[in-house]
Structure 1
């Protein structure tokens, strides 16, 4: 009998590896990424690819940017994937290789050419190979993380184009048609990703301001404590001096 891991199994594995508390505003990011990866990896129709890996890595890196203590960031990332019985180093290697290819492309038109070629051939190019893998699989399992991986590929080629909603939607429609994805779902996932990035950036700024304000309050309390201690010490010296016997000069 093949026992499929449950979400509870994955969560237990995660918290056995990362035992420190997770900063409150990032807890939902960690939990959602861990569960989303779990549900995909136990799905019989899911096949790992570099675009999905880039989606995982970029989601983690961008939403966890600014996490404190900074030393916990890598440990949390590794714990998420190891709890899902995945290799965190492979994910990073594949994501970086894919981004390297994307950054070498001169334009979105070059990406479209690769997308079109991927309909009939794989080749040695990691971007084309991964696109072909998705296009040629009749049971391809779409995921939000795959969409985010695609978004980060395009962003590496022409980030400014993505700020134009009409152009962004047109490109997503072309990608959806070529790969065989639900166009509305792809656009929705991309828009949600962009919106959540903005919200997280705002939350991080608020948190940063709160931390700075707390540091100032702490410094002020320490200064006031120091002054009170100095005043107390000075008072004690005065009392000792007043209590000392004075010599009669006559």
Structure 2
């Protein structure tokens, strides 16, 4: 029997790929996402899916917004994918593809559509193939990252829909029914996701405000020093 990679193995591999220090503000998020992706990747029922990939990409971009230096974001994401056995290029390209396909749809197209499509129509779009592969796999391993991917698709189809609690709940219930997943789990995971995203945005805003305050304070101190120097020179004259 093959040895299953441990969390420690994956963390070690991640830090081999990304050798630079990670900002303390983002470190906990990165390590929690790394552990989550690891646990999924070693699960016997795990199956890669572009909607899951979209969830990973979306979560990473939302929570890593503002990370400096900016070019480290791509390197960290690459390390996350590689250390958990994923293909970085595939994650990015396929998540972009299904988002683009979703942009062409209406809400009614998306909700309950899988039951009306022929196999030929399903094979024409990566989004429908991804959707169908979940619905037809009774052992498909659900994750909150998949839920975030579904939420991202709904946002792309109609930002108004996710703002309307009643319509949003109807859409989630219909999608969960199509995919044979628990709507309660999806709703709960997305509620936590949106709440954490709001907290993170508030934290980043507070940090930006603090940095701006410090910048203005330094400028003010420099101006005061210049004035004091000028006054001293005048007194000497």
Q: TM-score, normalised by structure 1?
A: 0.85
Find the counterpart in structure 1 of residue 50 from structure 2.
Answer: 50
| Greater Cα offset, 174-183 or 125-134 | 174-183
Instruction: Report the Cα distance in structure 2 between the residues aligned to 1:21 and 1:231, rounded to whole angstroms.
Output: 44
After superposition, residues 143-154 of structure 1 pair within 5 angstroms as: 143-154=143-154
The residue that corresponds to 1:116 in the other structure is 115
Assess if the C-alpha contact under 8 Å between 2:112 and 2:174 holds in 1.
no
CA distance in 2, matches of 1:60, 1:175: 24
Aligned length: 235
Given that 2:54 and 2:152 are in contact with CA atoms closer than 8 Å, whether structure 1 keeps it comes out as yes
| Structure with larger Rg | 1
Paired residues for 1:1-250 under 5 Å: 1-105=1-105, 107-117=106-116, 121=119, 122-223=122-223, 230=229
Distance (Å, rounded) in 2 between the aligned partners of 1:136 and 1:151? 20
Q: Which has the higher contact order (CA 8 A, sep 6+)?
A: 2
**RMSD over aligned Cα atoms:** 2.3
Q: Structure 1: 5+ residue runs without aligned partners?
A: 242-250
Native 8 Å contact 1:117 1:128 kept in 2: no
Unaligned runs of 5+ in 2: none
Q: 1:69–1:184: structure 2 CA closer, same or farther, 3 Å change rule?
A: same
Query: Separation in 2 of the partners of 1:212 and 1:53?
Result: 36
Q: CA deviation at 1:157?
A: 0.4
Whole-Å separation in 1 of the counterparts to 2:10 and 2:218? 39
> Is the partner of 2:216 in helix, strand or coil?
helix
